[in-house]
Amino acid sequence: MLCFHLPEDFVKDAAGRIKHFVASLFEGRPIALIARGPNAVLAAARALPHFSGLESYAFDEGFQNYRDFLNRPNSLEISYQLRKDNSDRFAYDHEIPFFYVPWKGLLGPDIPDLVKATKARGTWEGVMNGDWETRGP
């Protein structure tokens, strides 16, 4: 079992743990990587180019690229409205979580670049947008 905590750069740390785990247990064997949820998908995508035996991967309920964080079809306009109280905060508070900020993901390769760096076959299900809603691939 992998244990994930929130270090300063948790995506990089989680990707490193995945790489170490796979290398120690499956070196020289065919690998299929499955990740579900936004954090797991980000970490697995970051680790993709580092697996020599990776044959396939499947991602579910994650962001397909970093622009998807900003694609907020339901809450973007609402988020710019001034309010007297915070009673309906959920309707407009769909910002990028604070723990993604130290990761500096926008300064490195985007998720499609990481996917292109592997020869493995992959599939996406339930791609997320900035409102944290899923849609088909």
**What is the tens place of the pLDDT at every residue in 16-41?**
888 888 777 777 888 888 999 988 89
pLDDT computed for residue 95 by the predictor: 61
Distance CA 102, CA 9 (A): 6
Q: What is the pTM of this model?
A: 0.74
Distance CA 46, CA 24 (A): 18
* pLDDT, tens digit, 9 for 90 and up, residues 61-112: 999 988 887 788 887 777 777 767 666 655 555 566 666 665 666 677 889 9
CA distances from 53 to 15, 23, 69 (A): 16, 10, 31
What's the order of all strands across the beta sheet hosting 121-128?
Answer: 31-36, 54-62, 121-128, 134-135
- Are 53 and 70 within 8 A, CB to CB? no
Beta pairing class for 54-62 and 121-128: parallel
User: What band does 5 get if pLDDT is binned at 50, 70 and 90?
Assistant: very low
